[in-house]
């Protein structure tokens, strides 16, 4: 091969070796014409993927293992690799701990995350539609500005936000974690990208010729086209809001937490008995696991769809 | 759509619809038309204003106000501050704890992002094969993403326990001494980085996978015909094509990684970053200054320092990535003059070879790339 010349290795060898030389070397190769990517991969790929899947699952299993044992399980050198029988008991300890407020936290997490997701989807779709399909002065620059703010860390806003909410007397109120999350720059960026690609300009023109005003066009053309992207955005926003810790931890009262904050309380109360902590961890993860079962496919395609544009 | 009734049946494209409209306007400007003109002009602003009003209040105002507070000695009781210039910045920057936190943050960030990226590229390559049950594997890879970082931290801090942790038990089983995952700073960084890797590798894998699937398959076929093995195909086709996506992933993981809070906060039950600040990160330190010492001026200054660091690292990242993952095939990363020179060189080269070795489309483009590559090499040598 031409790779003898070290300086021009990788690309040149691949580029300058022409089909002619290959034909001369191995005439059978062309006749076979096996599709390069069409063939099924060998055991190595599946083994590697199985290892990856195993390590993705293991922490879940480990929390089940410890969470279904008792305080001594972790210290037992001959620990069984099968779950014990104490999970229900540990879970009951978690939900009945008055300092943790588990049910309250669960409800707070569900309704704040749902509200945040709905709000982000609503405002992002409106703004995304305008940025993607309507021409207006300064639109391009506004969009660039919005995208640029995505690089700003959340830490940059927490001090004034805290002062603001303390002023209003809202610290400890669940509203204090909903309001700052009502809109995100990412949401607008996402919807703009999607609508730009999925709604052809001809469709807008057609609606206009039919006499539809701008809002009607949005309702009849924009919304139906944006629905898949809106669903994905809603999912991601929900998961992010559900898992968010930094700001809720700062602003919420210990008596009215979200699930991650409740988990931190659980840890400080029960650090001597990890079976209870990990039972709580598993318990708090179940809602999102259920969501994952139903919407995991959407999450996967959402990440992959966003990536191509990003 | 009903548009076919009013528009000429040929095609409702803008070019053809426009004369139709100008024909109508001279007749009489109806109230409806005036209205629709305003409708077109105003409505975009109506669509974006709800977002921008909320965004200004919850996003932009706090950022600007953080800057103001960072120059103040903030009094919690009066809920106002007195201007003191750069004192808070000076204070933060002269704290040894800040430098420890900075070191820890970088250490954790590097330990999480570098192996994570390598792993993600590897797993994405596996998923990019023509495997069975694609959706199953992809979902499996994403499974850790739905677990809250707090939950991940609790599980892993248990597995990385100093005394009875799973990892140390396993190490003991193969005859190795236990690692002090909490008291040793570097070991604690590894443990925390493992949590980050667990949660984010799959996510980044899917992003890279999407980019891989966007690479035209003909490239691989042509390369295989040219005798390039899988590894060569990977380094010569896959990696260069992934460059923009890699930059994207690196930048987002920089922004996220330098803000890390949840995992170090939950690594032990005290949440102060360890007795000797072994795993104190900048965000953790910010929380301690703001809501432990209740000094908002200093916390605001630290927040701005963190932001500036993120910006600086973002720029450095971009430069380094540009250099490391040099794109040889496509046009990115090279000046326009270079590209033009390469194109001209390729064309002359082609004219020399016409009818000879150049066989098809792919052959011709790749010859161009090859020539430009040698061009690059010669200029480098000339320098």
Confidence of residue A10 (pLDDT cuts 50, 70, 90): very low
The gap from C-alpha A60 to its chain's centroid, in whole angstroms, comes to: 18
Q: Is B203 exposed, middle or buried (0-12, 13-18, 19+ CB in 10 A)?
A: buried
Q: Is A271 helix (H, G, I), strand (E, B) or coil?
A: coil
Neighbours of A125 (CB within 10 A): 27
Nearest CB to B51 within list A183, A210, A243? A183
pLDDT tens digits for range B114-142? 999 999 999 999 999 888 889 999 999 99
Per-residue confidence (pLDDT) for residue B354, from 0 to 100:
59
- Do residues B100 and B122 share a domain? yes
Distance CA A221, CA A206 (A): 10
Q: Do the Cβ atoms of B226 and A15 come within 8 Å?
A: yes
CA distance B172 to chain A (A): 11
Contacts of B294 in chain A (CB under 8 A): none
pLDDT tens digits for range A69-79? 887 777 776 77
Read off the pLDDT of each residue in A248-272 and give the average, rounded to a whole number.
Answer: 89
Q: Is residue B63 part of a domain?
A: yes
- Do residues B244 and B227 share a domain? yes
Residue closest to A12 by CA, chosen among B335, B223, B325, B358: B223
Nearest CB to B63 within list A46, A152, A239? A152
pLDDT at B78 over 70: yes
- Do residues B195 and B221 share a domain? yes
Q: Is residue B33 part of a domain?
A: no
Last residue of a domain, one of B54, B85, B116: B85
Q: Is B177 exposed, middle or buried (0-12, 13-18, 19+ CB in 10 A)?
A: exposed
Q: Is residue B15 part of a domain?
A: no
CA distance A188 to chain B (A): 9
- Do residues B199 and B232 share a domain? yes
Q: Which pair of structure tokens corresponds to residue B35? A: 């209205």
Last residue of a domain, one of B55, B85, B115: B85
Contacts of B366 in chain A (CB under 8 A): 14-15
Confidence of residue B67 (pLDDT cuts 50, 70, 90): very high
pLDDT tens digits for range B82-116? 899 899 999 999 999 999 999 999 999 999 999 99
- Do residues B135 and B255 share a domain? yes
First to last CA, chain A: 37
Per-residue confidence (pLDDT) for residue B336, from 0 to 100:
59
Q: Is residue B344 part of a domain?
A: yes
Pick from A307, A308, A309 the residue to mutate for testing the B interface (most B CBs within 10 Å). A307
State whether residue B161 sits within 8 Å of chain A by CB. Answer: yes
Q: Do the Cβ atoms of A264 and B150 come within 8 Å?
A: yes
Q: Do the Cβ atoms of A278 and B209 come within 8 Å?
A: no
- Do residues B155 and B75 share a domain? no
Q: Do the Cβ atoms of A14 and B366 come within 8 Å?
A: yes
Binding-face residues of A in 223-242 toward B, CB within 8 A = 239, 242
Structural domain span for residue B74 = 45-85
Per-residue confidence (pLDDT) for residue A11, from 0 to 100:
36
Token look-up 């990535």 returns: B321
Contacts of A259 in chain B (CB under 8 A): 148
Nearest CB to B226 within list A17, A66, A161? A17
Q: Of A267-276, B101-110, B254-263, which gets the smallest average pLDDT?
A: A267-276
Last residue of a domain, one of B57, B85, B113: B85
- Do residues B165 and B246 share a domain? yes
Give the DSSP letter of residue B177: P
Q: Is residue B123 part of a domain?
A: yes
Read off the pLDDT of each residue in B237-259 and give the average, rounded to a whole number.
Answer: 87
- Do residues B69 and B189 share a domain? no
- Do residues B318 and B354 share a domain? no
**ipTM, 2 decimals?**
0.83
Read off the pLDDT of each residue in A55-64 and give the average, rounded to a whole number.
Answer: 92
Confidence of residue B289 (pLDDT cuts 50, 70, 90): very high
**Whole-number percent of chain B with pLDDT over 70:** 77
State whether residue A307 sits within 8 Å of chain B by CB. Answer: yes
Nearest CB to B303 within list A38, A53, A155? A155
CA distance B186 to chain A (A): 22
pLDDT tens digits for range B299-324? 999 999 999 998 888 788 778 767 76
Beta strand ranges found along chain B (DSSP E): 72-75, 80-83
Measure Cα distances from A173 to A108, A256, B252 in Å.
10, 8, 31
Contacts of B126 in chain A (CB under 8 A): 41, 45, 48-49, 52
CATH of the domain at B254: 1.10.3720.10
Confidence of residue A225 (pLDDT cuts 50, 70, 90): confident
Q: Is B351 helix (H, G, I), strand (E, B) or coil?
A: helix
Distance CA B296, CA B62 (A): 13
- Do residues B74 and B197 share a domain? no
Contacts of B200 in chain A (CB under 8 A): none
Q: Is residue B51 part of a domain?
A: yes
Distance CA B338, CA B299 (A): 47
Neighbours of B329 (CB within 10 A): 20
- Do residues B79 and B95 share a domain? no
The structural domain count of chain B equals 3
Q: Is residue B39 part of a domain?
A: no
Read off the pLDDT of each residue in A106-128 and give the average, rounded to a whole number.
Answer: 95
The top-scoring range by mean pLDDT among A136-140, A172-176, B370-374 is A172-176
- Do residues B239 and B366 share a domain? no
Q: Is residue B220 part of a domain?
A: yes
pLDDT at B27 over 70: no
Q: Is A170 helix (H, G, I), strand (E, B) or coil?
A: coil
Residue ranges of domains in chain A, CATH in brackets: 2-32 (no CATH), 95-309 (1.10.3720.10)
Binding-face residues of B in 283-322 toward A, CB within 8 A = 283, 286-287, 290-291, 296, 299-300, 303-304, 306-307, 310-311, 314
Per-residue confidence (pLDDT) for residue B143, from 0 to 100:
93
């Amino acid at each position: 091969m031409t790779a003898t010349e070290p300086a021009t290795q990788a690309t040149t060898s691949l580029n300058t070796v022409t089909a002619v030389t290959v034909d001369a070397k191995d005439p059978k190769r062309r006749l076979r014409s096996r599709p390069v990517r069409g063939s099924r991969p060998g055991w190595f790929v599946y083994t590697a993927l199985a290892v990856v899947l195993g390590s993705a699952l293991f922490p879940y299993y480990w929390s089940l293992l410890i969470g279904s044992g008792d305080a001594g399980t972790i210290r037992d050198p001959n620990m069984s690799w099968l779950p014990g029988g104490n999970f229900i008991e540990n879970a009951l300890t978690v939900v009945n701990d008055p300092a943790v407020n588990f049910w309250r936290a669960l409800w707070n997490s569900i309704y704040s995350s749902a509200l945040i997701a709905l709000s982000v989807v609503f405002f992002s779709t409106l703004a995304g539609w305008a940025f993607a399909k309507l021409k207006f002065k300064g639109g391009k620059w506004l969009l660039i500005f919005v995208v640029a703010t995505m690089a700003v860390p959340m830490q940059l806003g927490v001090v004034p936000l805290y002062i603001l909410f303390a002023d209003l007397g809202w610290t400890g109120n669940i509203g204090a974690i909903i309001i700052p999350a009502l809109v995100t720059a990412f949401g607008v960026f996402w919807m703009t990208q999607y609508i730009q690609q999925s709604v052809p300009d001809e469709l807008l023109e057609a609606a206009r010729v039919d006499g539809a005003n701008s809002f009607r066009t949005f309702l009849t053309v924009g919304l139906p086209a944006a629905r898949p992207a809106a669903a994905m955005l809603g999912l991601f926003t929900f998961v992010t809001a559900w898992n968010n810790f930094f700001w809720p931890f700062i602003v919420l009262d210990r008596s009215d937490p979200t699930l991650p904050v409740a988990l931190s309380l659980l840890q400080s109360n029960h650090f001597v008995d990890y079976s209870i902590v990990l039972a709580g961890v598993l318990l708090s993860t179940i809602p999102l696991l259920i969501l994952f079962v139903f919407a995991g496919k959407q999450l996967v395609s959402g990440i992959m769809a966003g990536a191509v544009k990003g | 759509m009903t548009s076919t009734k009013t528009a000429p049946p040929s095609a409702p494209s803008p070019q053809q619809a426009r004369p139709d409209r100008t024909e109508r306007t001279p007749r009489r400007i109806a109230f409806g038309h005036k209205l629709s003109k305003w409708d077109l002009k105003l409505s975009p602003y109506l669509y974006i204003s709800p977002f921008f009003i909320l965004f200004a209040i919850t996003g932009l105002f706090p950022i600007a106000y953080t800057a103001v507070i960072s120059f103040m000695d903030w009094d919690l009781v009066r809920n106002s501050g007195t201007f003191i210039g750069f004192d808070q910045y000076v204070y933060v920057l002269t704290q040894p704890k800040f430098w420890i936190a900075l070191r820890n943050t970088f250490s954790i960030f590097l330990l999480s992002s570098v192996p994570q990226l390598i792993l993600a590229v590897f797993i994405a390559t596996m998923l990019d094969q023509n495997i069975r049950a694609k959706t199953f594997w992809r979902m499996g890879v994403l499974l850790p993403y739905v677990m809250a970082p707090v939950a991940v931290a609790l599980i892993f801090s248990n597995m990385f326990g100093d005394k009875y942790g799973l990892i140390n038990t396993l190490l003991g089983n193969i005859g190795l001494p236990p690692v002090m995952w909490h008291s040793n700073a570097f070991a604690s960084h590894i443990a925390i980085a493992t949590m980050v890797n667990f949660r984010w590798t799959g996510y980044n894998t899917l992003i890279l996978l999407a980019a891989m699937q966007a690479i035209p398959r003909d490239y691989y076929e042509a390369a295989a015909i040219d005798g390039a093995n899988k590894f060569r195909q990977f380094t010569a086709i896959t990696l260069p094509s992934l460059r923009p996506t890699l930059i994207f992933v690196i930048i987002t993981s920089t922004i996220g990684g330098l803000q890390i809070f949840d995992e170090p906060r939950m690594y032990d039950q005290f949440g102060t970053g360890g007795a000797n600040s072994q795993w104190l990160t900048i965000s953790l330190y910010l929380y301690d200054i703001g809501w432990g010492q209740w000094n908002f001026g200093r916390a605001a200054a630290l927040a701005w320092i963190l932001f500036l660091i993120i910006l600086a690292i973002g720029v450095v990242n971009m430069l380094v990535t540009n250099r490391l993952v040099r794109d040889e095939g496509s046009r990115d990363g090279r000046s326009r003059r270079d590209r033009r020179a390469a194109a001209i060189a390729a064309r002359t080269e082609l004219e020399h070879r016409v009818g000879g070795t150049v066989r098809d489309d792919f052959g011709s483009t790749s010859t161009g790339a090859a020539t430009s590559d040698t061009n690059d090499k010669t200029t480098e040598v000339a320098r």
